[in-house]
Amino acid sequence: MAMSVAEIEQLIKSALPDAKITVEDLAGDGDHYAATVTSEQFRGIPRVRQHQMVYAALQGRMGGALHALALQTSAPE
């Protein structure tokens, strides 16, 4: 079962309310996405931990409903 862009955005936004999120369906199959997430909550946190925070927001859907997510995270400039 594939995920929609809106569903991915909503899950991330619920965990990171201040986040600015851009999600792109890379293959048009609802399975391969690229996401850019900018949140003040990432400030001072290593990139690996930032990615873990986003994956946690997806509530276990990575590797299941969401097959691939190319992820870029940062704190606002």
Q: What is the pLDDT of residues 23-55, one digit of tens each?
A: 999 988 788 899 999 999 999 999 999 999 999
Q: What local confidence, expressed as pLDDT, does residue 38 receive? A: 98
Burial of 16 (0-12, 13-18, 19+ CB in 10 A): buried
The pLDDT of 1-17, averaged and rounded, is: 92
Phi then psi dihedrals of residue 66, to 5 deg: -115, 105
Coil, strand or helix at 76: coil
Note the pTM of the prediction, 2 decimals: 0.90
Task: Give dist(CA 30, CA 74) in Å, integer.
Answer: 24
| pLDDT above 70: residue 72 | yes
- Residues with Cβ within 8 Å of 9's Cβ and at least 6 positions away in sequence, in order, are 21, 23
**In the chain, domain spans:** 5-74
Domain range 5-74, its CATH number among 3.30.300.90, 3.90.228.20, 2.40.160.40, 3.30.450.40 = 3.30.300.90
From 11, 25, 3, 23, select the one nearest 53 (Cα to Cα).
11
The pLDDT score that the predictor gives to residue 1 is 62
